[in-house]
Structure 1
Amino acid sequence: MKSLHPPRPGRLLWALWLLSVLSASSVCAWRLKAADLRVYYAAARSYFYHSGPMYGPNDVFGWPMFYRYPPLFLCLFRPFALLPLRAAAGLWAGLKVFLLGPLLRMWCRRFIAPARLLPAVSLSALLLMPYFVHELESGNVQLLLVELVCFALLLGDEHPFVSSLLLGLTAAIKIWPAFLFPYLALRGRWRLGIYASSATVLLTVAPVGWLGWKNLFHLLAQWYAQEKRINALLGDKWYPSQSLRGVMLRYLTWMDYSGLPDPNYRRVNLVSWPSIDVRHLWLLLAVLLVLFSMALVYRCVDDAAAYSIFFCFLLIVQPNVHPIIYVTLLWPALFAGIVITDQRCPRFVRWVLKGAAAVAVLVPLVPGASFQRLAQVLGVDFLGVLLPITLALVTYASRSWSPAPIVRSCEPPPKADR
């Protein structure tokens, strides 16, 4: 009689990954929300299949929506617009969860010892899960771009061409990955930054192959004019942004929420300074924080810490950050798992990271729309999650500053001699 052996841990992990992909696809298709995906879907069907506009108000689903990305993304999204909306939402969510599998495998093989895998990944999951679920429900493209950027950083030394293409693709869809290029130069990878910049330009104009030069430049001009008009009309009237600028405006100025889809947010301002003065103060602080983050990245010994600092400061200095954009903390959250399992880590850093994870998990569980609105205007995600993670990771990284960047952490470990 043959003995029964339990399945290998690797097979269990792959089975769990496939189950997660199927679950995310099914839930997002069945409980259809996908507020952001609807915008991409409506704009693609309007432009490619009904000869309508790509930019401007679109009332396909009964309320005005604006597609706000360059033409490249909508051209890439076009196959999803051929499907029914539920199928597109399920496939879109499944794609993002699918990419997490190989990404986490590459990260763990590169940075995490097998004995510390479970506690490290557990903390990362607690920090990310609320934002991850919210992002999947909305159908935004942010998580997909973050995953591609993380792939690019992990492949930068072994496959620089693939890495530059991934960085160029993401920067051609959203501008924020382009801010990584100077940090690559600080880490000694200036060639990768140059190649990625070139790829960004080439991929931005790549739709000329099926749109033509005239249509492409016309669409790019429409996109620029729309973004300029929207920003001028909205000004400070936006959702309660979870960034430094948003928190400063809510605490230091009198906010008018009457023009928002949900005008029921409370005012929490301590003073009523002129908005222009607060914005100028924020701009000064943002410049100083960028310079400070560049100095930190330059002095970090390993790339895992350096790029974690970049992602954290990116969210801090961005003008407007919706809570779903906190999936950008994917790399810092994974690094936080490494930090908390390091025996040399200061106790203070561990408690700060555990506290940030508790805030991230517990606040969305509190019932009541009024409480959730209050948490947003108070900036709980910014003050209780982003700032503590940044403080903890900077404190941990400062224990091993280097006078010059040492590029080693994204390289594969050398094989031992037999």
Structure 2
Amino acid sequence: MTLISNTTTRFWLKAATALVLAGIAYLLIDEMVDFPTYYLAGRSLLRGETDLYAPQFSGGILMDYRYPPFFVLVFSPIALLPYKVASYLWLLLSFIEIYLCWAVVRRALRLTSDAHAQPHKLATVALLVTLLTVAQYFVKAINFGNVHLLVVLLMFASLYFALQHRNLPAALLMSVAITFKLTPVILLPYFALKRRWKFLIYTSALLVLFNLFFPAAFFGFKGNLELLRTWHRHVVVDSEFHELNGPINLSLKGQLRRYFTEVRYEERLRDQNYKSINFAKLSTKQIDTWWAALSLIALALSLGIIWWTSSARRQGKEDETRPETTTNERNGETITRTLLELGLMICLMLFVGPSTSKLYFVALLWPVACLAYFAFQRSRIKTKLIRYSLLLIATINIIAPLLPGSSIQRMLLVIGVDFYITLILIIFHSYTLITLQRKSALIEAELPATQR
């Protein structure tokens, strides 16, 4: 009877939640920022227009189309619907994507089968800390209606399949994510470090397929190549207009520019009320050189930490010489390390990417969940410092969006609060991986010589 009662209760809770979200979606039909660009681009393509990067193709110079040709081909069918219907379906899809993002992360965490997990109460705390930390980013993503939410889901699902060494589905999802938004390409050096050559070969082949051959069936091979060249010039090379008029860039590049160059917010076409906080007036070219150099250093350091803490020789020696560990436990520890390594790489992606707007931080769900799971559930390692830091980050992300006044919210963006949160997460992911390695080394040192 109790089982039936619990099942019924869960069903009605889910039904009520679905109805509430359906109602919220209806209220937000006309509030999305980026979805109209996709819709107008799709309508233009259906009318036979192929100059994808002309302002009139989508929403004008401020809301221009900035994706490779493959994207508009995939999403143009939704433009066959009336705008309000298409917008409503897009919002419902966004809610489903949020649920699936969380479901994928939960499944990834369950792969650890952690034998040293703490009681259920601390698991609940880890869940709450994670949700409170990332909630504001998902709200922002819903408000914008940006495809980045789908990209994050594809990326998470790809990493989940990669954890299970299912290379083809992992590569398929990752290649689509990279085609839609270029930044997940920063994760690929990690797989090269791990010698996941089959995954990388599949991903490369599918990227060629999605970007060269599929669009060529519609635009022609030469036409598609010209569109790709125009996309590269418009989005990658000539990015200054969007850098100034787009969302505040919260990556390392944006931080360096706001601190060391004079950003002319008064020249923005919209929302000119941001305050300059620079304490130097260097050239953007000089700062961008700094950004490129520091990004390479950050990437090298992160990969170096991952390599040192997950060396195949050390891992194998540790596992074979610990008589108290079972095969499942050793596998769980390996997956825990891998989850944290991937969390570090996701944080690095946000940190060094050329453009990271606030809604991009929905990707922090993976690293925050993995770090919280480790910090609040591991019983063999001292994690008090990590716990307090996660609680502090969650508190900041609860309070910051509630501070009154648009001027305060603009100042928080210009200062780059989310940038520093990502930096803290990078530090603690690195610290955790190093701590795990030191713990393993201590256990090995304490073993009798005959067991080494």
TM-score bucket of the superposed structures, by smaller chain: 0.7 to 0.9
**Alignment match of 2:372 (pick from 318, 337, 343):** 337
Structure 1 CA distance, aligned partners of 2:60 and 2:285?
Answer: 35
Query: 165-174 or 342-351: which moved more?
Result: 342-351
Equivalence for 2:293? 284
Alpha-carbon displacement from aligned partner over 1:225-244 (angstroms, at most 9, x marks no partner): 32256415456665432112
**Alignment match of 2:433 (pick from 386, 397, 407):** 397
Equivalence for 1:83? 81
Q: CA deviation at 1:117?
A: 4.2
CA contact (8 A) 1:127 1:361 kept: yes
Equivalence for 1:350? 387
Do structure 1's residue 322 and structure 2's residue 329 form an aligned pair? no
Alpha-carbon displacement from aligned partner over 1:27-66 (angstroms, at most 9, x marks no partner): 2342222111111111111121363642221386687521
Task: Describe the SS at the equivalent of 2:239.
Answer: helix
Structure 1 CA distance, aligned partners of 2:242 and 2:62?
Answer: 15
Structure 2 CA distance, aligned partners of 1:15 and 1:329?
Answer: 30
CA distance 1:369–1:148, shift in 2 (3 Å):
same
**Alignment match of 1:313 (pick from 348, 351, 356):** 348
Give 1:381's aligned amino acid: D
CA contact (8 A) 2:259 2:280 kept: yes
CA contact (8 A) 1:172 1:201 kept: no
Query: 233-242 or 126-135: which moved more?
Result: 233-242
Structure 1 CA distance, aligned partners of 2:292 and 2:165?
Answer: 38
Equivalence for 1:175? 182
Give 1:377's aligned amino acid: V
Alpha-carbon displacement from aligned partner over 1:117-142 (angstroms, at most 9, x marks no partner): 43222111111100011011101111
Alpha-carbon displacement from aligned partner over 1:380-413 (angstroms, at most 9, x marks no partner): 1212x212222222212211238x9xxxxxxxxx
Equivalence for 1:41? 39
Give 1:401's aligned amino acid: Q
Query: 197-206 or 235-244: which moved more?
Result: 235-244
Give 1:212's aligned amino acid: G
Do structure 1's residue 253 and structure 2's residue 290 form an aligned pair? no
CA contact (8 A) 2:253 2:288 kept: yes
CA contact (8 A) 1:237 1:256 kept: no
Equivalence for 2:25? 28
CA distance 1:133–1:52, shift in 2 (3 Å):
same
Task: Describe the SS at the equivalent of 1:207.
Answer: helix
Alpha-carbon displacement from aligned partner over 1:76-131 (angstroms, at most 9, x marks no partner): 11222122223222322322332434424523432476935432221111111000
Equivalence for 2:399? 362
Structure 2 CA distance, aligned partners of 1:171 and 1:161?
Answer: 15
Aligned residues: 400
**Alignment match of 1:265 (pick from 274, 288, 310):** 274
Q: CA deviation at 1:265?
A: 0.5
Q: CA deviation at 1:185?
A: 2.1
Equivalence for 1:120? 126
Q: TM-score, normalised by structure 1?
A: 0.86
Give 1:255's aligned amino acid: V
Give 1:289's aligned amino acid: A
Structure 2 CA distance, aligned partners of 1:278 and 1:354?
Answer: 34
Give 1:331's aligned amino acid: W
Q: CA deviation at 1:257?
A: 0.8
CA distance 1:105–1:376, shift in 2 (3 Å):
closer
Q: CA deviation at 1:316?
A: 1.0
CA contact (8 A) 1:123 1:336 kept: no
Task: Describe the SS at the equivalent of 1:192.
Answer: helix
1:96-245 equivalent positions in 2, closer than 5 A? 96-99=94-97, 100-101=99-100, 102-111=103-112, 115=120, 117-156=123-162, 157-205=164-212, 206-227=214-235, 230-233=238-241, 239-245=247-253
CA contact (8 A) 2:34 2:146 kept: yes
Give 1:399's aligned amino acid: T
Q: CA deviation at 1:372?
A: 0.5
CA contact (8 A) 2:58 2:64 kept: no
Q: TM-score, normalised by structure 2?
A: 0.80
Task: Describe the SS at the equivalent of 2:278.
Answer: coil
Task: Describe the SS at the equivalent of 1:258.
Answer: helix
CA contact (8 A) 2:375 2:383 kept: no
CA contact (8 A) 2:347 2:426 kept: yes
Do structure 1's residue 299 and structure 2's residue 308 form an aligned pair? yes
Task: Describe the SS at the equivalent of 1:58.
Answer: helix
Equivalence for 1:275? 284
Structure 1 CA distance, aligned partners of 2:230 and 2:424?
Answer: 40
Alpha-carbon displacement from aligned partner over 1:158-183 (angstroms, at most 9, x marks no partner): 52211111111112222222222221
Give 1:396's aligned amino acid: T
Query: 34-43 or 293-302: which moved more?
Result: 293-302
Task: Describe the SS at the equivalent of 1:268.
Answer: coil
Structure 2 CA distance, aligned partners of 1:104 and 1:147?
Answer: 10
Q: Structure 1 unaligned runs (5+)? A: 405-418
Q: CA deviation at 1:73?
A: 1.0
Structure 2 CA distance, aligned partners of 1:60 and 1:217?
Answer: 20
Equivalence for 1:415? none
Give 1:303's aligned amino acid: T
CA contact (8 A) 2:49 2:57 kept: no
Higher helix fraction (1 or 2): 2
Give 2:139's aligned amino acid: V
Give 1:305's aligned amino acid: L
Structure 1 CA distance, aligned partners of 2:302 and 2:309?
Answer: 11
CA contact (8 A) 1:340 1:350 kept: yes
Structure 1 CA distance, aligned partners of 2:48 and 2:219?
Answer: 15
Structure 2 CA distance, aligned partners of 1:52 and 1:198?
Answer: 26
